[in-house]
Amino acid sequence: MGICTKYLLKKDLIVIVNEDLLNESEKKFKSLSQELIQDMTPKKEEEQEIKEYEISITERRKMEENLGMNEDLFRDFFDNAAIGFHIFGPDRIITGMNKYELNLLGYSLEEIVDKKTWSDLIIPENRHQFEKHWNEILDKKPVKNLEYTLIHKDGHFIDVLLNASPRFDERGNLINTRGSVIDITRRRKMEQALRISEYDLRECVKELNCLFGISQLVEKSEGSFEEIIRGTLELIPSAWQFPEKTCARISLHEQEFKTKNFKETSWKQKANIKRRDEIIGTIEVYYLKDKLIFDEGSFLKEKRNLINAFAEILGRYFERKMAEQKSKESEQKFRNFTSQSLMGIGVVQDGLIKYANETLAEIIGYSTKEMMNWSENEFKKLFHPESVEFAMEQAKKKQLGEEDVVRNYQLRIITKTGDVKWIENYSQSTLYEGKFADLVSWIDITDRREAEEKLLESEARYHDAFDRTTFYKDLLTHDMNNILQVIMLTLEISSLDENISKELKESLKSIKNQVLRGSKLVSNVHKLSQLEESQKALQNIDIYNTLEASLNFLKNSFKMKKINLKVDTPRKNYLVKANNILRDIFENILINAVIYNENSTVEILIRFSTEQKEGINYIKVEFMDNGRGIPDAIKK
């Protein structure tokens, strides 16, 4: 029985079957079946032969079933694997691709199989690399862990890792190439981000080292401005990406300082050095162009904050130095001033006397050297027991920054010799040698306090004498009024006698007028004395009503006189700030207008008007009469 081996290629699954053996077994099986039908009692040899053929057929069927199962397993693995698989033949045309790789590229199976080559799917930059790897495959060498960049259907790039191996027949001819791809796009991005981070970290360390060096230079160095600037210039290049290709220049106060390799180029960055808002100089950093390749945009972007930081450090340094210089000058002026001051001046800092002038030493009796050697808060021994608690409380409040501090007060102190003195204390917070302190000024007011006490005693005696004078003045006024009242009563009784002569009546009338004048004089003197004693309070008074009361008084006082009164006013109510003396003023003016008028009829015109001065409204009252008036000589 001849054997013919046939290769069946079912989607790259190879099945080897002995076809002659299967056909011969089938023929024998049929022949035996017919014989069995004809003869139901076969021979033993025939039965054995039938059994062998039956076993052969069963084995063939099992082999076919196993081959089908293996093919299904392979196809399932190929289609649903978590990595990409593809197959292409000797012509490089793709003959198979699984779902993962199709999804990765965005194509359907119909768009890829038998239409595209591997070169169609990779970026042009990778095609030369692929030719080299293809030659290795033809040399029967598998290729492993090759990085390629694929082109998605929509145009974006996908980074993959390729592994591929060839299949050859028994004659050494290439059947196909099987490859697998893994998407490493995310890994590539992470690696790129890591490289960038590492670069940024290295640059950050360089920048921090440079900043720290400059900070140390300006904070600890006691050198000149020029030494600080030159030290800064030496540190600047180390912070840039290419230190050997970096140069710098610092300009300050019309002076210019450069690195040894300085040269102006177009690759430049600049920052202003400021003291407060005033530009006092510049920092310039240049890259030398000597075949240097770098991204100008990155240079400008990455180092902008750094050069600004350099400028800010130098600006603050110069500002601090200027402040220290001014502080020293100010302290020297302070010492010059306080040494000539008539006030005792001292500076208290952290409970210690940091400065004291000679005037303070003269006031308290201790030398300036003794005070400077006192321990913390030892100065409180100067305060009188009745003043120490209050004085120390104010000092503590000031140190704590509280707002309710009494800065000016009087207190008693005890000098070195034990004398008690009165002191006027002034204190305020200040800066002394760069730290907060209390500036205390003392004035010896002992003599003034003694004078004040004597003055108080004198004032007490004065008030006592004044009170007695007021008593006698009131008593005198009362007695004078009583005397005048008695005289007035006597005149009234005498005028009732009808037998007195005309001349006597005129005399009585004249005496009566003089009594009225005397009474008025006594009243006015009393009121004037009250004005000297105290200030009369003002209140709202209707000036027109006050005038009417004065006019009624005038009419009653001069009934025998013919008086023609006229009041010219647009209205009859005016409220003004005044007191009861206003009526006395009106009455005096009106009485004088009658007494010093020789006309048979006294004409009096009173005119009201308003006017404004400096934004304040005033009422103007004018009294006009037909009397002789006051002679010019008397006015002068």
pLDDT at 4: 35
pLDDT at 505: 72
pLDDT at 15: 37
What is the pLDDT averaged over residues 414-430?
Answer: 89
As a whole number of angstroms, the distance between CA 273 and CA 277 comes to 10
What is the pLDDT averaged over residues 351-376?
Answer: 91
564 pLDDT tier (thresholds 50, 70, 90) = very high
pTM of the model: 0.36
Interior CA angle at 222 toward 217 and 223, to 5°? Answer: 85
As a whole number of angstroms, the distance between CA 235 and CA 217 comes to 10
3-state secondary structure of 389: helix
Q: Is the pLDDT of residue 25 over 60?
A: no
Query: Residues 175-190: pLDDT tens digits?
Result: 899 888 999 888 888 8
Please, what is the angle between helix 502-533 and helix 581-595, to 10°? 150
Give 553: exposed, middle or buried? Use CB within 10 Å, 0-12, 13-18, 19+: middle
Which range of 417-421, 508-512, 532-536 scores highest in mean pLDDT? It is 417-421
Residue 404 in tokens: 């309710």
233 pLDDT tier (thresholds 50, 70, 90) = confident
219 pLDDT tier (thresholds 50, 70, 90) = confident
Interior CA angle at 367 toward 365 and 370, to 5°? Answer: 115
Give 590: exposed, middle or buried? Use CB within 10 Å, 0-12, 13-18, 19+: buried
Q: Count of CB atoms within 10 A of residue 63's CB?
A: 14
Q: List, in sequence order, every residue forming a beta bridge with 353; answer none if it has no partner.
A: 348
Q: Is the pLDDT of residue 32 over 80?
A: no
Q: Is the pLDDT of residue 201 over 70?
A: yes
As a whole number of angstroms, the distance between CA 589 and CA 583 comes to 10
What are the φ and ψ backbone dihedral angles of 155, each rounded to 5 degrees?
105, -15
3-state secondary structure of 94: strand
Q: Is the pLDDT of residue 35 over 60?
A: no
